[in-house]
Structure 1
């Protein structure tokens, strides 16, 4: 820049000068000089245009005022992630746009509605359906409630950088339901929703997870760290205090402490796999790689592609599912490595098992990604949504059985992929070797507990953002021993899980298998579908009728004397009926009528129960 300023101050002399003499330049030499100058100018124009050819470049965007956006300021996502600090995130949205985020009018999210949604969900599981309802386009529990998260336009400030006109919506299923009750929602930010090509530090989307199920606030973050340590491509994470402004409704209202999670998308794939031309799936179906026939439309509903698959990629998925479920053992063993990165799968499985991460691939329904990379044409598994890892998934087993989860049968429902892979001795040996290795390295007790302490030191000064009771719950949640209301203490889990896995590997202990328990639970919950729900709802009413008849009969008997009071108490319903209709009609007639009505209702209930148990419907 200084040289150019000097040039402008002292323009060069064309041709050397001595005194008043001047050398004439021939015309041909002038032409050559002119042509050379034009070439230099063209090169100068082309260099900036060619700079970065073959590289992925984020477009430079401007805000409404014409200033460079955060995309132009920095494209380094690394500066956003890392479990070493807590950043601030501010969400600013108008009341009109905020209304777009809310569930449709008439949507019920009370306990009764959630109970019915669970009933429908379990019914689909029993029938072998997909984890999604016709009430919504989204999968999961929220979809069964008729919720389909929609974007509204907002402005956000992340780590001190303001970004305007982003898409903001709720996210999650169970955490959405809990968030609706507590007022602390999870959010997804889409920088590209309203401005094509926009991004923030190279990211197109970002997730703000409320962690309402985890008082330690670190299960998900630690889990991603552990998966990354064993070579599994996964999201980067950080912590944030989130503030929400809704014009006219709330002004910079503190929402609490959140986890920031990187989105799995094409940018993620290119960063981790070196390409993004493969097929990315986020399954939401009851079973892993279920074979659904030859029609791709069925797979599209169950496997939920996040990229647009080619016809060859579609056929690859169908062929793998068919081979998994229909090939004999020899054919499966010979072909599996053509379809699946088996070594990566064994590492993925080992870490899931160490963490007893049951609300995931081990449960066989959702909360994981699968990527068919274009280079090897093989499938890879990626973790997702691990806020109830470290044995905290209360819908399966007990805290004790989850800490003692079987290493060889860790699935909580039928999982043909795990079953068939571990049935091959060389793969099972490799899997066990990974478990031993991780127990001594990445999941070593001292190492994990030291990381818990390190992260706790970062979160402890700001944990009160989650409420006045949060600090106490936080300390109990990371402790070395459980408490009455925090049975999933992190350090305690690590200690006990180490003991269990080591002893299982040494054949000194049998791990707990939760699969049968899950099937029994599903069978039990089947009673809450169809007409049987009326039977169960009627039982408390019938019991209440008989209890009131028993008490009324006792009181009526004592009006005659102690003997009849005791007889009516001991020999219900016969004694109250005899007393009221034969002995003292004046004192016990109405109580006897009530007892007769109550007993009749009980008989009717029993007849219906026998009929339903006998598959009368």
Structure 2
């Protein structure tokens, strides 16, 4: 009886389950160690030689980027992760994913920019709490200091910016020199700047808030949900009438933050950012504020004047938000206020010069002399920038009169098939139909190229040391001359095939009329090849081969 009663009691009062174990405390974030400004971190990569060669030669071409309906979707990523053992400041990490990084201008096979993904092959692997490292090769920053200097200005302006310092990198014992170590754009960075890191992070690459330009926004978090409703809402707001523009935008984006980013981009000369090129920026859709926030990226071409020495404008106007905000008086006033505040609070020439001195002393033992010359150019930009910007503000900002740019996808308009047989050094000879022979065929917008006579010449580029040029000329029945030409680096000169990538190897088709001096570019030779069957650089030696390529037109 007692036993039965106890059994019933047990059924009526089931055992209370034990309290669940509390979640383990997250490991402390010690990532600041890797961004201490006073030191250069050491990164040693050990990777299978075959993997390294495959990694560094992975690339994309201009046609990959601009061909077809180029703005309809995010740009394809041609880069793969390869496993490697990576040692960071003495800490050995096995099976780290390593891949090449870059869009176009910074791509290099000798010293590629790199992304290191610690958890690509080992779940949860971190280094000082970081899941990723980003190492930029400075191909477009000959000073090696622009990025760290610039991100410091963005941070002082109150813009959520990545941390930055330097890394000395070796691969399989080969010294690749100094890289800029930039904090990766991921949830870890977002968590430092925002209370809630669960929102959507978007990368803008030639992306804008215009109906035909939103396709290239690429989602970097919460990728399974491809909804772009917030970006679409900003696109609608950007088209609002002048009287409603500010209110419509403030309902969708952190507008004060945008003015700060836009002014800072302009001040440091970031022509390749949102304001200047609708490129190199991120958006964070913050769940707390319900607003989109702008973050800067890709600032390696800052702190420099243009090729003719012209200074960058005090306000960039390519992005539709920049364009529209200058349409209204309040937008112009808020931009000017943001820029003056920036000059007061974040642009201290003495402090910037001291930072340049500090970084120079840090990397000087690791960089070639030409880097120090480029650093001098950065210093000159810093010291002169305030006067130019202040003068522009004092003169008053005006609405933008130029229309927004058109889409710039390349148009396939024809093809070219060429052979040439000449001798090295004939490039300086103007008797173009007696310096070599060849064939020239193809089409331009449906019109066949059928020359009556063909000549060719080649050799070292007369105006660009270290470059090689081959030209094939066709005398046309209308007394014009059509010429196909390819220019390439001397280092590429060898028997075999060279890809016409539009960067190192550039091809083009031109037409000129000797009687009048008129000339026109017919198109670019892209997605094609130059094949050399004889490629000696001895004066008078045979220089022979062929060019087979598609012909593209570009609207810019």
Match of 1:18 in 2: none
Match of 1:65 in 2: none
Deviations 1:493-529 (A, max 9, x none): 1223222101112219x99x9979x969x99x97xx5
Map 1:23-38 → 2, pairs under 5 A = none
In structure 1, which of residues 476, 479, 496 is the aligned counterpart of residue 373 of structure 2?
A: 476
Report if the CA contact (8 A) 1:97-1:154 is conserved: no
| Greater Cα shift, 327-336 or 304-313 | 304-313
Match of 2:379 in 1: 491
Match of 2:71 in 1: 129
1:83 aligns with 2:83: no
Match of 2:148 in 1: 221
Match of 1:98 in 2: 52
For the residue of structure 2 that corresponds to 1:203, the secondary structure is coil
More helix by share: 1
- CA distance in 1: counterparts of 2:355 and 2:217, whole angstroms: 35
In structure 2, which of residues 226, 233, 256 is the aligned counterpart of residue 319 of structure 1?
A: 233
Map 1:133-144 → 2, pairs under 5 A = 137-138=76-77
For the residue of structure 2 that corresponds to 1:174, the secondary structure is coil
Q: CA deviation at 1:398?
A: 3.2
Q: CA deviation at 1:475?
A: 2.2
1:168 aligns with 2:98: yes
1:288 aligns with 2:165: no
Say if 1:514 and 1:76 are closer, same or farther in 2 by CA, change over 3 A: farther
For the residue of structure 2 that corresponds to 1:356, the secondary structure is coil
- CA distance in 2: counterparts of 1:537 and 1:449, whole angstroms: 55
Q: CA deviation at 1:449?
A: 1.5
Say if 1:310 and 1:423 are closer, same or farther in 2 by CA, change over 3 A: farther
Say if 1:210 and 1:546 are closer, same or farther in 2 by CA, change over 3 A: closer
Report if the CA contact (8 A) 1:546-1:599 is conserved: no
Report if the CA contact (8 A) 2:85-2:94 is conserved: yes
1:50 aligns with 2:56: no
For the residue of structure 1 that corresponds to 2:365, the secondary structure is helix
Q: CA deviation at 1:311?
A: 6.6
Say if 1:80 and 1:406 are closer, same or farther in 2 by CA, change over 3 A: same
Match of 2:313 in 1: 406
- CA distance in 2: counterparts of 1:197 and 1:305, whole angstroms: 22
Q: CA deviation at 1:337?
A: 0.7
Say if 1:176 and 1:431 are closer, same or farther in 2 by CA, change over 3 A: closer
Superposition RMSD in Å: 4.0
Say if 1:357 and 1:548 are closer, same or farther in 2 by CA, change over 3 A: closer
For the residue of structure 2 that corresponds to 1:207, the secondary structure is strand
Deviations 1:295-352 (A, max 9, x none): xxx95x4111111268796322222212313x22223232211101010001101110
- For structure 1, the 5+ residue unaligned runs are 1-41, 59-73, 139-147, 246-251, 293-297, 464-469, 480-488, 552-596
Say if 1:425 and 1:237 are closer, same or farther in 2 by CA, change over 3 A: same
Q: TM-score, normalised by structure 1?
A: 0.62
Report if the CA contact (8 A) 2:202-2:284 is conserved: yes
Say if 1:537 and 1:306 are closer, same or farther in 2 by CA, change over 3 A: farther
Q: CA deviation at 1:185?
A: 1.3
For the residue of structure 2 that corresponds to 1:215, the secondary structure is coil
Match of 2:5 in 1: none
Match of 1:585 in 2: none
Q: CA deviation at 1:353?
A: 0.4
- CA distance in 2: counterparts of 1:462 and 1:519, whole angstroms: 42
Say if 1:536 and 1:429 are closer, same or farther in 2 by CA, change over 3 A: farther
Say if 1:159 and 1:336 are closer, same or farther in 2 by CA, change over 3 A: same
Match of 1:341 in 2: 254
Say if 1:94 and 1:598 are closer, same or farther in 2 by CA, change over 3 A: closer
Say if 1:373 and 1:312 are closer, same or farther in 2 by CA, change over 3 A: farther
Q: CA deviation at 1:121?
A: 4.7
Q: CA deviation at 1:599?
A: 7.6
Q: TM-score, normalised by structure 2?
A: 0.68
